[in-house]
Structure 1
Amino acid sequence: MATAVETLGKLERRITISFPLTDVRTEVEKRLKVQARTAKAPGFRPGKVPLKMVAAQYGYQIESEVLNDKVGRAFNDAANENNLRVAGFPNIVPKEEAAEGQLAFDATFEVYPEVAIGDLTAVEIETVQADVSEAEIDKTIDILRKQRVHFHTKGEAGEHSDGGEPIAANGDRVTVDFVGSIDGVEFPGGKAEGYAFVLGEGRMLPEFEAATLGLKVGESKTFPLSFPEDYHGKDVAGKTASFTITLQKLEWAHLPEVNAEFAKSLGVADGDLAKMREDIKVNLQREVAGRVKARNKEAVMDALIKVAELDVPKTLIAQDSERLAEMTRQDMAQRGMNVKDVPFPAELFAEKAERRVRLGLILSQLVGDNKLQATPEQVKAQIEDFAQSYEDPREVLKYYYSDRRRLGEIEALVLEENVVTYVLGLSKVTTKAVAFDELMGSNAQA
């Protein structure tokens, strides 16, 4: 049986559960007899082990299982009888004072909040839009060329050219030996041989690159270098060192020509440059559409958080914080990082978890009130859209439909899009054009 529900806070509740001790003993004896049918012990045939020996070996475990079952069932019955929507898991502890012959437990828990969503017609939301121009296609081609760059010794005649005068300039790949010292003493990490980098990419500190510019192979230069206060090497941060560099090798960058061979390297079988540009444009438009959708969804979610009033269960925040911490650990491990002994305190993820839980409760309320659930047709259309960028779209369909969890991820995505469409249809929307570079540099996530 259970007592009346006690209100401890806005969302926190408590129920006291009790039941006769004899009920537990009876169930334990029943399960022990079942266990005895297959129990094994030295000197006894299977199923012939004395009940006392079975009780000695399995009694504690079975008693714990019986208590967990009875307490769990009693709590669920009490929650259902009182129409309680329990958030997360209850904290159940034995009650010190109980009637004779009774076992009693206090179950403390939180309930789901009431979600009050304000007037969406009064909400102002700014969305964005962006276009793909010929300039963006040209920039992308330049990036693709740089990804396929190859280097030649500068000053030596070759198939393409000699690269010009053999002195170090921006865009050249230089290989240097260097040694650095502070107050005449070399420091860890301040010396290297055969170190290569491309001038002008910003990989080295500005003074280092400036000193390298204009050198010829075999030439050396000594110069002062001031490390920034926030430099990652704490032993030298904020200090000034003296460096000597010697240029050992100098190479100029040859970018591939934009011709049929270049187009073929990008997957255009016949080398048609017009088709290459069209393929690049289609891919950029797909990427832009995804970024725009993400930015606009973020704007809608921000608006919903502002317009909705609710208390967020601490239990759900704690659970999601733990989930985010574990996801981060797994992600870093998959990237090859050794995180075995690295702590991932859940509280570091509490702010993000609180937003996620809050949005989840708001979306659930909106979906339920306005019938915004994902339809099978919408789910299929979303998967088919994903499949367009793969060689075999049928395999993509099979991938999602063969796993209920994967399909659930698509359903959740469609549901969010339904909410975004619904909210934008009611609110006051203004649209701002954003530059391609600005959009592609953003990482909007809801």
Structure 2
Amino acid sequence: MQIVETTNEGLKRGYSVKIAAKDIAAKIDGEVAKIAPQMNMPGFRPGKVPANLVKKMHGPALHQEALNTTVREAIGKVIADNKLRPAMQPQIALGEDYTEGKDAEVIVSIEVLPTIPAPSIDGIKLEKLVVPVSDAEVDEQLAKLAGQAKSFTDAKKGKKAEVGDQLIIDFLGKLDGVEFDGGKAEDAALEIGSGRFIPGFEEQLVGAKAGDEKTITVTFPADYQAANLAGKDATFDITVKSVKVPGEAKIDDDFAKNLGLTDLAQLTGLLRGQLEQETAGLTRTQMKRALLDHLAAGHDFDVPPSMVEAEFDQIWAQLQQEAQNEEDPAAALKEIEDEKDEYQAIAVRRVRLGLLLSEIGQANGVEVSQQEMNMLLNQAAQQYRAEDRQRFADFIGQDPLAAAQLRAPLYEDKVVDFLFDKAEVTTREVTREDLQAAIEADEAAPAPAAKPAKKAPAKKAAAKADDKAEDKADAKPAKEAPKDKAPKKEAAPKDEKAEKKAPAKKAAAKK
């Protein structure tokens, strides 16, 4: 086997590998020796089929397998002999003039990970903005729960409906005097002021009494989900069957017990815990962005173009998808197109931070345990049908890159937590508004050494470097090159569900 380096530019490496025909032939003989004892052929005793007949029967398959194995070993030798750390799977190409029985030339292109100076993790200073949860906030959540649990009782005879009251009605919708599908309901419960029906519907029922019959006119919103109704004027014939008034839910131990809890104290504790967890998440977001800005400002090194391209493609696909959901998709697409260079800079920052965190994690023994990996695998497998989950698990077990992608978010969190523990952290109490403002200010700020500050486009948070900058934090050198012309591996298919329309809602109901 002869290995000649053909390219050494930046992080790109290229090699020409010549494999002698005799080495491939030896591999074929090895494959024949493996399968011959298991073959049966008329006229021969089991396991005694001559090698030449085995080759005649299975020649192309044996040659392909031998070639794959030889190429894989060659790539492994290239990586080992040159002490390379591939950033992505090497690209390999077999010489066009190769035919069976001749020497083979394999062209290998590899992008390697940069040599990163040992990152300094000493002297990191961070400010932790914390938001104490007040009794008033807990009381507000209790009141919301009570409001959701309120019940209605029949009003006194002759009572006129007010905002907050509930009507039980029959209605029939018409367009130009003709009934339309989905515009009819009986015994429908409508709380006036809830905003559940289209604009103008509820307001015209204020003052209605049990037994009233009336016709109202409304205009469906221009963006209404039913295209045949969007922007159209319609009439509804309404019969008011009863008027009900809301009853106040008393916030006490019995209220908590109706929710399946022991007492009011337990309910209050749960609500406080939820609020504290929510604000803790915001605090972590703010601290994490400050940490990443610190790291980005102190490190600048070349990053593999293929990793940047893959990261940018992911950002771009997400932005384009979100642009399609905007009121004016064409304008949204133009906006992100105008800022394409900025998103390219964000991709570079993401990859650089990911590699940096990977270096820090590996240098300090940060690992994802097998137990944690099993947990991630089980969670991810839930998106597949039960019969496909084992296929998905097998795929992850056989593909190091897929496993790294699955592991990356947890690995990122563990490295960030490690750095939080090492940092000098000062704590300052702020209001929720102050904390949110600090996060938004960071979103609007320029990425260090990346781009000038400017107005953030709609949905730009989806591509903000810090939101997912470290998805490459678990990056490790590829240990093995893929087989040449090997069967393509693919994840177990997702549960293919036919696109279904949502159950038809009453035409008057607001989406």
Question: Is 2:39 the partner of 1:46?
Answer: no
What is the aligned partner in structure 2 of residue 333 from structure 1? none
What is the aligned partner in structure 2 of residue 177 from structure 1? 171
The amino acid that maps onto 1:167 is A
The amino acid that maps onto 1:28 is I
The amino acid that maps onto 2:424 is G
The amino acid that maps onto 1:202 is G
CA contact 2:16–2:106 (8 Å) conserved in 1: yes
What is the aligned partner in structure 2 of residue 210 from structure 1? 203
CA contact 1:117–1:308 (8 Å) conserved in 2: no
Secondary structure, in 3 states, of the residue corresponding to 1:89? Answer: coil
What is the aligned partner in structure 1 of residue 272 from structure 2? 281
User: 1:121-200 maps to which residues of 2 (within 5 A)?
Assistant: 128-155=129-156, 165=159, 167=161, 169-170=163-164, 172=166, 174-181=168-175, 189-200=182-193
What is the aligned partner in structure 2 of residue 331 from structure 1? none
Q: Distance in 2 between matches of 1:79 and 1:416?
A: 31
Q: Distance in 1 between matches of 2:199 and 2:421?
A: 49
What is the aligned partner in structure 1 of residue 232 from structure 2? 240
Distance 1:231 1:30, change over 3 A: same
CA contact 2:149–2:249 (8 Å) conserved in 1: yes
CA contact 2:24–2:67 (8 Å) conserved in 1: yes
The amino acid that maps onto 2:268 is R
Question: Is 2:290 the partner of 1:296?
Answer: no
What is the aligned partner in structure 2 of residue 96 from structure 1? 96
The amino acid that maps onto 2:137 is E
Distance 1:65 1:169, change over 3 A: same
Question: Is 2:361 the partner of 1:362?
Answer: no
Q: Distance in 1 between matches of 2:118 and 2:218?
A: 58
Question: Is 2:109 the partner of 1:108?
Answer: yes
Secondary structure, in 3 states, of the residue corresponding to 1:4? Answer: strand
Distance 1:67 1:197, change over 3 A: farther
Q: TM-score, normalised by structure 1?
A: 0.67
The amino acid that maps onto 1:296 is M
Q: Distance in 1 between matches of 2:367 and 2:108?
A: 36
Secondary structure, in 3 states, of the residue corresponding to 1:207? Answer: coil
What is the aligned partner in structure 2 of residue 433 from structure 1? 431
Higher mean C-alpha deviation, range 298-307 or range 360-369: 298-307
Higher mean C-alpha deviation, range 31-40 or range 10-19: 10-19
Report the count of equivalent residues.
380
Q: Distance in 1 between matches of 2:283 and 2:58?
A: 61
Secondary structure, in 3 states, of the residue corresponding to 1:206? Answer: coil
The amino acid that maps onto 2:141 is T
CA contact 1:24–1:67 (8 Å) conserved in 2: yes
After superposition, the CA RMSD in angstroms is: 4.7
The amino acid that maps onto 2:431 is A
Q: TM-score, normalised by structure 2?
A: 0.60
Q: Distance in 1 between matches of 2:197 and 2:301?
A: 50
CA contact 2:368–2:410 (8 Å) conserved in 1: no
Question: Is 2:358 the partner of 1:373?
Answer: no
What is the aligned partner in structure 1 of residue 399 from structure 2? none
Distance 1:425 1:62, change over 3 A: farther
Distance 1:14 1:150, change over 3 A: farther
Q: Deviations over 1:309-342 (max 9, x none)?
A: 34544544677799999xxxxxxxxxxxxxxxxx
Q: Distance in 1 between matches of 2:297 and 2:194?
A: 43
User: 1:243-322 maps to which residues of 2 (within 5 A)?
Assistant: 243-246=235-238, 247-248=240-241, 250-266=243-259, 268-269=261-262, 271=263, 273-274=264-265, 276-301=267-292, 304-305=295-296, 308-313=299-304, 315-316=306-307
Q: Distance in 2 between matches of 1:69 and 1:145?
A: 68
What is the aligned partner in structure 2 of residue 389 from structure 1? none
Q: Deviations over 1:405-431 (max 9, x none)?
A: 999976653322123454x639x9987
The amino acid that maps onto 1:373 is V
Q: Distance in 2 between matches of 1:52 and 1:168?
A: 95
Q: Deviations over 1:17-48 (max 9, x none)?
A: 22101211121122112201012346755323
CA contact 1:222–1:242 (8 Å) conserved in 2: no
Shift of 1:53: 4.4
Distance 1:187 1:105, change over 3 A: farther
Q: Distance in 2 between matches of 1:206 and 1:301?
A: 46
Q: Deviations over 1:135-161 (max 9, x none)?
A: 1111121233244344444448xxxxx
Name the structure, 1 or 2, with higher relative contact order (CA <8 Å, separation 6+). 2
What is the aligned partner in structure 1 of residue 83 from structure 2? 83
What is the aligned partner in structure 2 of residue 392 from structure 1? none
Q: Distance in 1 between matches of 2:124 and 2:223?
A: 42
CA contact 2:127–2:427 (8 Å) conserved in 1: yes
Shift of 1:108: 1.9
Secondary structure, in 3 states, of the residue corresponding to 2:84? Answer: coil
> Percent identity between the aligned chains?
25
Q: Distance in 2 between matches of 1:172 and 1:295?
A: 44
Secondary structure, in 3 states, of the residue corresponding to 2:106? Answer: strand
CA contact 1:89–1:109 (8 Å) conserved in 2: yes
